[in-house]
Amino acid sequence: MTLQATRPAAVLPARGVPRDELLRTVFERRADDAPWREGRIFSLVYHPGSPELEELLAAVSREYLAENALNPRRFPSLARMEREAADIVAGLLHGTPGAGGLTSGGTESIFLAVYVAREVARGRGIASPRIVTGRTAHPAFAKACHLLGVRQERVPVRADRRVDVEALAAAVDEDTILVVASAPNYPYGVVDDVPAVAAVARDAGILCHVDACLGGLLLPFWERIGEPVAPWDFRVEGVTSISADIHKYGYSFKGASALLWRDPAHYRAQWWVDDDVWGGGLYGSSTTAGTRPAPPIAGAWAALHGLGEEGYLRLARSVRDARDRLLAGLAGIADLAPTVAPDLSVLEIGSSELDLGAVADALEERRWWLDRQPGGLHLMLSPYHREVVDDLLAALRAAVDDVRAGRVSRGVPAAYAAVP
């Protein structure tokens, strides 16, 4: 794929641009951005529908605009916030206090999980390490393997879109260092059979990572409001690490994810430490970054404390209500249905008759943006979507009518993240 310049190169202005002019430019450019506050997109932003929380996070971020989390001795408040945020998430997932920290997002958490597995394997003399995942595992695992020189084998999923555990077990060999389960997977919103995947890892004496970047801050409260939740967290023997994004259903801003370990020794293996050979003194970092922005750490801490258990339960009920009303409405639209029944609030809408790319085009003409996948249209529901689900269903009915009548043809292909 070739990247092509589509606009003239920017240049540094000779003089500083006045504030009002700068802000006017910002506002003008945002005119083409998806209007997430209206609840018309279903990915990328997790909208709790709370101006109070948004203002709290903005206020906390302003307090930490310049601070650098690289050196906890200079900014001990940040180190304390990170420890407390990670421990709160560990408590929700029945994990080990002090055996994890925050990263910049799910991709970095996954990268570090693969990195630690590789380092543990090197200590065991494995020279050509590999991991085994389901086909539906997040592309961040492939990216981590590419960057770390680790091989990945992707095994099939079953008809219910959960990883085929028998195929996964058959793929494990003496060079395998890690197996992966998703809770849930992104494309279809279903949770893999974590106890079975973890049992494969336990029997092979290897690590098992649960990618709960998407569901890690919703599943604990989903269970508490009475929804069926199969075992998936540290209560499952054999699970050695879990990633859970606080900037998703934890409702903090980007980017804040927690990477948690059962064994503190694995968290210590995550740290990179260099001595004084370079002349600048001892250098240590728990993530891939050196300098780490402070606002995401402070924001994660503030969201967890600002919402508390009551707030997260309330938002979980709102998400469930949006999902149930959406599913009920879909049942009344011919030729549209979830590909598989979702375990949470993430789903793919499929059709055996309709061109869903054309349906997406018709929806975008009405200012609704659903993500396109090879198998259909993808949605991740936030609490605020409860306010707009009836309008979305009406737009879906109209879009389907347009496609049936031949008034719209397919345009943009399926893509998770576009290349510029």
**What one-character DSSP code corresponds to residue 39?**
T
Residue 133 has pLDDT above 70, yes or no: yes
CA distances for 79 relative to 88, 226, 259, 298, 304, angstroms: 14, 35, 15, 10, 16
Mean pLDDT along residues 103-117? 98
**Whose structure tokens read 């005119």?**
31
Res. 276: pLDDT tops 80: no
Given a cut of 90, is residue 18 above it in pLDDT? yes
For residues 263-281, b (16+ Cβ closer than 10 Å) or e, as one string? Answer: eeebbebbeeeeeeeeeee
Q: How far apart are CA 240 and CA 266, in angstroms?
A: 9
Q: Is the pLDDT of residue 2 over 80?
A: no
- What integer pLDDT is reported at residue 93 of this predicted model? 98
pLDDT of 308: 98
What pLDDT shows up at residue 183? 98
Confidence of residue 128 (pLDDT cuts 50, 70, 90): very high
Query: What is the structure's pLDDT at 275?
Result: 82
Could you give the CA distance from residue 182 to residue 193 in angstroms, rounded to a whole number? 9
- Domains with residue ranges and CATH for the chain: 27-50+308-402 (3.90.1150.10), 56-305 (3.40.640.10)
Q: Is the confidence at residue 170, as pLDDT, over 60?
A: yes
pLDDT in tens, 44-65: 999 999 999 999 999 999 999 9
Instruction: Please answer whether residues 357 and 410 qualify as being in contact, where contact means their C-beta atoms are separated by less than 8 angstroms.
Output: yes
pLDDT of residue 414: 58
Residue 332 has pLDDT above 70, yes or no: yes
pLDDT at 334: 92
> Of all residues in the chain, what percent carry a pLDDT higher than 70?
96
Of the two residues 191 and 127, the one the predictor is more confident about is 191
Return mean pLDDT, the chain.
Answer: 94
Average pLDDT over residues 171-191: 98
For residue 3, the model assigns a pLDDT of 54
The pLDDT of 289-306, averaged and rounded, is 96
* pLDDT tens, position by position, 208-266: 999 999 999 999 999 999 999 999 999 999 999 999 999 999 999 999 999 999 999 99
pLDDT at position 278, please?
Answer: 84
